[in-house]
């Protein structure tokens, strides 16, 4: 009899983390690998945020805190939602975890019963289905095609809702495609949800501030009649370049927040006290650098998309947010190239050209691969040259 639980057997390790680890191993072995797999800004945490952490350490702010966040951080989060999203929450409607990932995990653990369904539009962030499975739920994957802009349509949403549906996950701007839902698109999905009153919405807004061109961010909790059925998750990792600080947060109905707190009280307990002090400064401090960094990401996006669309056999939509592109490589798969799948494509690209990307099938849509352009322009220029050489050699 195996000592490993049946629930653990239902899931697999994160493909994106696996790619990142592979890059580390190859570099340690002396390989000149360009890693385009990690969803992590290459910018450093801003100085004012670092100084707030140092101040907290020097003042002895190194003890246990309230399980799901300090009053100061919860107040900063309440103020953020009011200031940026025109959403009113009370302190007891806020939870803070060790990263957005923990907040999502806690949510599913606290709310899913065996067989409960969670609608997950594909392409999706790799961890959504596995977290649902680990909690005993059933992922209901809805494929959203390139022709549909990689977005869930009201028609598909309506068709996918069953008596067992408990959650819908919306991620905008999206990982892995970078596409964002417009206000009109959110409102159209809301019309379906307003007719299905038992479905809750989990809005993953982690890339809220990384947006380009004329895209205006809009979150579904801003629709008043859905606010009480929406859990809005966000964090400081992407916008503030604080991935290693591990602070995520969410706002939503008091009952769900209380259930999340109970889960967290018996698992990790509170997030790092020092990281929470830094997050207070992140949310309350100067925000000007966010726009500057987003412009830098935009320049990289434009460069990468232009390069990819000039490679024979590759096509790539221009996203309006996050720091990913999701190029189509279907024309390079088949008997002629001896590459059967997108997994074959990315593995051979790594072997032949030392460029690490992630296969589209890991995100629920075959025939694509994800590139993170959250790295230097120098690396991107080298990587695009290598990808072009690889594709031309097939």
Over residues 3-38, the pLDDT tens digits come to 888 888 888 877 777 777 887 888 888 889 999 998
Identify the pLDDT of residue 3. Answer: 86
Contacts of 324 (CB under 8 A, 6+ apart): 39, 175, 176, 177, 178, 370, 371, 372, 373
Render pLDDT for 187-233 as a digit per residue (tens, 0 to 9). Answer: 999 999 999 999 999 999 999 999 999 999 999 999 999 999 999 99
The pTM of the full predicted model, rounded to 2 decimals, is: 0.96
**Residue ranges in the chain whose pLDDT is less than 70:** none
CB atoms within 10 A of CB 114: 8
Query: How far apart are alpha carbons 325 and 179 in whole angstroms?
Result: 9
Q: Distance between CA atoms of 125 and 16, rounded to whole angstroms?
A: 9
Pick the CATH number of 6-44+288-393 from 3.90.1150.10, 3.40.50.300, 3.60.20.40, 2.40.10.10: 3.90.1150.10
Angle at 264 between CA 115 and CA 8, to 5 degrees: 45
pLDDT in the model for residue 43:
96
> Domain map of the chain by residue range?
6-44+288-393, 63-284
371 contacts 363 by C-beta, under 8 angstroms: no
In this prediction, residue 284 carries a pLDDT of: 98
Alpha carbon distance, N-terminus to C-terminus of the chain: 47
Instruction: Supply φ then ψ for residue 210, to 5 degrees.
Output: -100, 85
**SS3 of 208, please?**
coil
Give the integer Cα–Cα distance in Å for 394 and 314: 12
What is the per-residue pLDDT for 247?
A: 98
Name the architecture of domain 63-284.
Answer: 3-Layer(aba) Sandwich (3.40)
Determine the pLDDT at residue 100: 97
């Amino acid at each position: 009899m195996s000592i490993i639980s049946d629930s653990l057997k239902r899931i697999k390790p994160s493909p994106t983390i696996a790619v990142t680890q592979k890059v580390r191993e190859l570099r340690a072995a002396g390989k000149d690998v360009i890693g385009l797999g990690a969803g992590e800004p290459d910018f450093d945490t801003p100085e004012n945020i670092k100084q707030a952490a140092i101040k907290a350490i020097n003042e002895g702010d190194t003890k246990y805190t309230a399980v799901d966040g300090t009053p100061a951080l919860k107040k900063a989060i309440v103020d953020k939602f009011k200031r940026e999203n025109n959403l009113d929450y009370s302190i007891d409607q806020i939870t803070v975890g060790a990263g957005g990932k923990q907040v999502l995990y806690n949510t599913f653990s606290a709310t899913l019963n065996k067989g409960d369904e969670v609608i997950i539009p594909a392409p999706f962030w790799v961890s959504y289905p596995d977290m649902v499975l680990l909690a005993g739920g059933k992922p209901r994957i809805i494929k959203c095609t390139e022709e549909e802009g990689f977005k869930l349509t009201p028609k598909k949403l309506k068709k996918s809702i069953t008596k067992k549906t408990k959650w819908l996950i919306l991620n905008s701007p999206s990982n892995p495609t970078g596409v964002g839902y417009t206000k009109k698109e959110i409102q159209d999905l809301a019309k379906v949800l307003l007719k299905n009153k038992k479905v809750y919405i989990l809005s993953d807004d982690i890339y809220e501030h990384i947006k380009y061109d004329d895209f205006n961010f809009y979150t579904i909790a801003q629709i008043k009649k859905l606010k009480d059925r929406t859990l809005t998750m966000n964090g400081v990792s992407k916008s503030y370049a604080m991935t290693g600080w591990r602070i995520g947060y969410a706002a939503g109905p008091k009952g769900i927040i209380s259930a999340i707190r109970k889960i967290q009280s018996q698992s990790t307990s509170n997030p790092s006290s020092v990281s929470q002090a830094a997050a207070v400064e992140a949310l309350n401090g100067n925000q000007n650098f966010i726009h500057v960094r987003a412009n830098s990401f935009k320049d990289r996006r434009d460069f990468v998309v232009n390069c990819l669309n000039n490679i024979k056999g590759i096509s790539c939509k221009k996203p309006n947010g996050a720091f990913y592109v999701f190029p189509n490589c279907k024309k390079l798969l088949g008997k002629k190239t001896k590459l059967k799948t997108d997994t074959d494509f990315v593995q051979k690209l790594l072997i032949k050209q030392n460029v690490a990307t992630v296969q589209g099938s890991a995100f629920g849509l075959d025939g694509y691969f994800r590139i993170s352009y959250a790295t230097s322009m120098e690396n991107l220029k080298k990587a695009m040259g290598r990808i072009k050489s690889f594709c031309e050699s097939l």
